[in-house]
Structure 1
Amino acid sequence: MNTSNLHEVLQNLYQEMIPLSSQMALVAKSIAGLGALFYIGLKVWQALARAEPIDVYPMLRPFAMGICIMFFPTLVLGTLNAVLSPVVRGTHEILESQVMDLTSLQQQKDVLEREAMLRNPETAYLVSNEEYDKKLNELGWSPSDIATMAGMYLEKEMYKMQKSIRDGFRELLEMLFQAAALVIDTIRTFFLVVLSILGPLAFAISIWSGFESTLVQWLTRYISVYLWLPVADLFSAMLAKIQTLIIERDMQMLADPSFIPDASNTVYVIFMIIGIVGYFTVPTVTGWVIQAGGAGNFMRNMNKTVSTAGNMATAGAGAAVGNISGKLMKK
């Protein structure tokens, strides 16, 4: 199962968990009814105490909140998701327009890299068995020729080992890159499920005097978390474009007959590490778009958590880069 299927599983999970908010609405109705009784009683008592006419308009608020609680999955969540889903689709279309077949481009680059090494007599035998056998046939059996054969064999095996290490490390970074995006999507789905299920309770509590801001906090938090996916898609689109430009630039340089390729893929590795760390900045960037009033400590703790995870991922990737760089330097 690839990561795209896992993202679809998370989306289906959210859709299947939304109906559970109807069960919480049963509990919220009693809290809302009691809150509406105290709210209306307080407004009427204040008007009578001041010998003022009773203003009916503010008293409609508990009734409106009660209607939202009764039809919470369709009226509240359905409306919010209908308004925000075009943003998700729009950013996903941007991602699809930027993503090219990176695997195909990488294969084309590998072919050009192999052709470039074949053009160089000093490196041709490393990638071609025919060139290797040809150079062996040109040598004799003198002590110096035998030493040259041994050196060629060691260099060829060392090249294969280093190529295997580079390819394995690249696959590891790609796996960590996909895992970072999956972590953000999993946490987002968890937060949305919790906010959706406990949403009726938040609406009921907001009826009580002194807790009116609970409604605004719930709305801003829900919208902020919902936008994590669009922001992550925009970041993925940028990284996909960067990877495409890097591969295209390398392919243009490999077309030059005098160019000697560097198979270390250092730039690609650096941008993959940047991408892994960058995914954990998505909550912070989303907070710039939607300011969740009253959720400062919550968002700070969340940003601290994802920053810690990003530092751990960077440290692990950096250690692996250091090991590979040391081996390449020894060569």
Structure 2
Amino acid sequence: MVIRQAGIGKSTDKKELEKTFIKTLLLMDFASLHELLRSTYDEMMPLCAQMTGIAKGIAGLGALFYIALRVWASIARAEAIDVFPLLRPFVLGFCIMFFPTVVLGTMNAVLSPVVQGTEMMVHQQEGNLAELTAKRDKLQEEAYLRNPETAYLVSNEKFDEKIEEMGIIGPEDAVTIAGMYAERAAYQTKQWIMKMVHDLLELLFHAAGLIIDTLRTFILIVLAILGPIVFGIAVWDGLAGSLTAWFSRYISVYLWLPVSSILTALLTKIQVLMIEKDIEALSDPNYLPDSGTWYYIVFFLIGIVGYFCVPTVAGWIIEAGGGIGSYGRN
């Protein structure tokens, strides 16, 4: 009886540790962290208005040289002045004055449906995964209970019944009971370790996605706040390419989140297909389950590595010159 109480104490401690670990994971709501990053961007986006004064000064001086050079060249060649090219500084100046609304508002309104569409894919797949995982776990436990050789490993009632079937416990049965406790403890320890590794890699998987989203938010905030300066510099001759580079970099970085969402949806769909295969196998009364959690762990490792390929893949969708383009090629 002392042996039995000690075994139950160890099992209870492991369950408490597992519950504590799961509670810690549940407290780290990654969805709310992603929402926090979006609200941070929305709150910091109006700060670009503080740069409009400097940008208007740069653009005004550039417009003076831009218009004067073209008007003087037309007069020197005794040609009619072409007014249409002279409108470019005024258009850029208008964009600078209403930068948060005209530029950022328009671009975000066009690109945000892409983010929302890919996130719907992820939510749909994650909902299916949660339902199928619960069904698979239930069938797996039932499969263990069907087998008399493994039922006592997963059920306290079956364990007690097996001890009661032994009748009066003598000295010769103490070794058998100790072996049963050791076998059950080894099984529970193995399952606990597999669960810990699975949960840890799942945590790292979501953390990798959060890292990508954090870097994306930081770069977008920098591009948004300094955007009016870029528009002002683009008025000057020889620096007009900075405007195209700014647009391409902003769009490329903005697409990091949709690309990472597609990767998450892909990996989740693969897990759904694997769990459906497990459910089909567990539906067979003669099937004996084994520890097949390892291939889920492999897919978490693939996802962690895949997240850091997101900037490269986003660079394939739209070529961004300068730093982002060079990073994507590397």
Shorter-chain TM-score bucket reads 0.7 to 0.9
Deviates more, 1:149-158 or 1:186-195: 149-158
Q: In the alignment, is residue 150 of structure 1 matched against residue 178 of structure 2?
A: yes
Q: Structure 1, residues 41-89: CA drift from partner, whole Å, max 9, x if none?
A: 2212322333332222111111111111011111111111111122222
Deviates more, 1:173-182 or 1:22-31: 173-182
Aligned pair partner of 1:198 in 188, 204, 226? 226
**Corresponding position of 1:249:** 277
Shift of 1:108: 2.2
Matches within 5 A, 1:1-331: 2-139=29-166, 145-292=173-320, 294-295=321-322, 297-301=323-327
Distance 1:264 1:277 in 2: 22
Deviates more, 1:146-155 or 1:54-63: 146-155
Distance 1:7 1:101 in 2: 21
Q: CA RMSD in A?
A: 1.9
Identity within the alignment, %: 54
Q: Structure 1, residues 26-54: CA drift from partner, whole Å, max 9, x if none?
A: 11010000111111122123223333322
Distance 2:269 2:169 in 1: 53
Alignment TM-score, normalising by the size of structure 2: 0.86
Distance 1:92 1:150 in 2: 52
Give yes or no for contact 1:68–1:75 (8 Å, CA) kept in 2.
Answer: yes
Letter in 1 for 2:48: S
**Corresponding position of 2:3:** none
Distance 2:162 2:36 in 1: 55
Shift of 1:236: 1.7
User: Which blocks of at least 5 consecutive residues in structure 1 are unaligned?
Assistant: 305-331
Shift of 1:115: 1.2
Distance 1:69 1:121 in 2: 76
Distance 2:318 2:172 in 1: 73
Letter in 2 for 1:61: R
Deviates more, 1:165-174 or 1:194-203: 165-174
Distance 1:180 1:303 in 2: 21
Give yes or no for contact 2:315–2:328 (8 Å, CA) kept in 1.
Answer: no
Q: Structure 1, residues 127-186: CA drift from partner, whole Å, max 9, x if none?
A: 122332333344476776443322211111111111111111111111111111111111
Q: In structure 2, do the counterparts of structure 1 residues 254 and 75 end up closer, same or farther at CA, with 3 Å as the change threshold?
A: same
User: Which blocks of at least 5 consecutive residues in structure 2 are unaligned?
Assistant: 1-27
